[in-house]
Structure 1
Amino acid sequence: MDQARFAFHDRPEIPLMRDRLQGVFAPVRDAVRHDPTSQWVKASISGRTRDAVSQAAYERLRRAFPSWDLIADADPEAVARLIHDVTWPMDKAGHLVAAAQRIRRLRGRVDLGFLAGRSRFDAFHWLMRLPGVGAKTAAVVLNFSTLRLPVLVVDTHVLRVLRRCALLPARAGFARGFRLATHVLPDWSAEVLYEFHWHIKTLGQTVCTHARPRCGQCPIAAICAAGRSARAGR
């Protein structure tokens, strides 16, 4: 499908969606933000893992590695033992060590602060070249960290909602979803996009679920392609 078909700035649904979600869900303001290197570590171990488990694993890593430079010299098996209760701990540990080694080789130390001087697209593609870093993790580092770059984090729930609303192609994955959303979303600040992400994610977790979307209870059903179809089929 042509990307122009999904030009959000030409369609009123996006700001209307934001308004309606703001009317239903509580405001989401900045939590204490990690520096980009710490956010990369945290995001890298969080996939498919409950927040409480990944947070505890991150805290164990932080105690074991007071400087992230030390991860580049760590034994992946030792790292895996520290994060043993996350999903795929050995894979994630191997990626962390390999990525830390790459960052140090390219930049002299394990520090992603230099990304503050890059455009959001350059920074995104730089991160995507790190072992184990996909589109979601890269976007989390850019938007959730102290970098505060204006990108939308497209996770499983956000991807599902935007696909069902026909605001992304039905087969769009994380990387394509990120590219389309970043190019065509309104010129919103990083903080607005941060809240927008969490509101869509909450909708996806509670209403627009994978198996049983409850379109009759959805605040954006009237502006959602799937929601309109569900209503028409009653």
Structure 2
Amino acid sequence: MSLPIAVAAGPARAPLYAVPDPAPAAPDPTAEGWDLVHAAQGGDRAAFGRLYDRYVDGVYRYVLLRVGDRHLAEDVTSETFLRALRRITSISYQGRDVGAWFTTIARNLVLDHVKSSRFRLEVVTDEIADPTTPGAAVAGAAGSLGPEQQVISRDTGDELVRCISDLGDDQRECVILRFIQGYSVAETARIMDRGEGAVKALQHRAIRRLAKLLPDTLR
């Protein structure tokens, strides 16, 4: 006669749970820009076109804020990208967004124009303040706005633009690069060919000056 065999119950198994896939890393705009540069250097003709699409609005806005004339800003922006195309094979990674390189070229063209014509800045406020105007998008780091950027971003209308135009040349450029273009202190220093300490001092003086120029309704 066969006897029943008792089978000892093993330890209870813990239920299995599916391990979720890690969230994909957010794209790095700086790396993406330089990938396009490297592709253009390797002969990819479409890559420079994508660089143009990516940075043209920011360059145009920077130039327009500096020269105050829409047609001149369009000409300078076009010349900026023509020069960049000629020099694309000579640029190498500089530890910053490639948009700063385009802005540096644009800045040099603006300075050449200032030296040649000695014009006075007359800001075309409707072109700058209207977000539907071609070239009105802001380039540079997006990120969350700091308190100083909130002051600049609170109202981009005519009055604020006029106040920015009343700043000295260096202060005006510092404000445009830092708070409208969104460049870091280090990037602004490279573009302006100044030390970071000098940029911080310019920024501080510009903000204090703007605080005096702005009407009470914009403070």
State if a TM-score over 0.5 links the two structures: no
User: Taking structure 1 as the reference length, what is the TM-score of the superposition?
Assistant: 0.27
Greater RCO (CA < 8 Å, at least 6 residues apart): 1
TM-score, reference length from structure 2: 0.28
**Structure ID, larger Rg:** 2
